[in-house]
């Protein structure tokens, strides 16, 4: 019989991997919730690309899907979400 008041703990594969790789990494990242002060370039590009695809797929029913995506890209550039001109050009080229 299980205790209904027992706390269930869910541990992800990446958490287990960090424990094996470096116990301090696990301590800081998972227990103390430390985060990197900067976002990596590949993460920014991947996040932007997924946003562009999301806009395109959600706009496919309308005639202006490309306009919605490119409009978001220009807005993201102006808001500073795209780190530099090279990244902007890459995303534009990918699209």
State whether the Cα torsion 37-38-44-45 is positive or negative.
Answer: negative
Among the listed residues 40, 13, 39, 18, the one whose alpha carbon sits nearest the alpha carbon of residue 30: 18
Rounded to whole angstroms, the Cα distance separating 53 from 91 reads 11
CA distance 95 to 89: 10
Phi and psi at 83, nearest 5°, equal -65, -35
Tens-level pLDDT at each residue, the chain (95 residues): 567 677 887 888 988 898 899 999 889 988 898 887 777 888 889 999 999 889 888 877 667 888 888 899 999 989 888 888 998 899 889 88
pTM, entire model:
0.56
Which tokens hold the place of 81? 């979400």
């Amino acid at each position: 019989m299980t205790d209904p008041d027992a706390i269930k703990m869910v541990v992800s594969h990446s958490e287990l991997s960090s424990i094996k790789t470096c116990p301090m990494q696990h301590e800081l990242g998972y227990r103390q919730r430390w985060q990197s002060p900067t976002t990596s370039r590949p993460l920014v590009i991947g996040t932007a690309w997924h946003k562009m695809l999301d806009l395109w797929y959600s706009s496919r029913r309308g005639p202006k899907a490309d306009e919605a995506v490119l409009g978001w890209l220009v807005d993201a550039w102006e808001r500073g979400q795209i780190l530099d001109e090279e990244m902007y050009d890459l995303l534009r080229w990918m699209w």
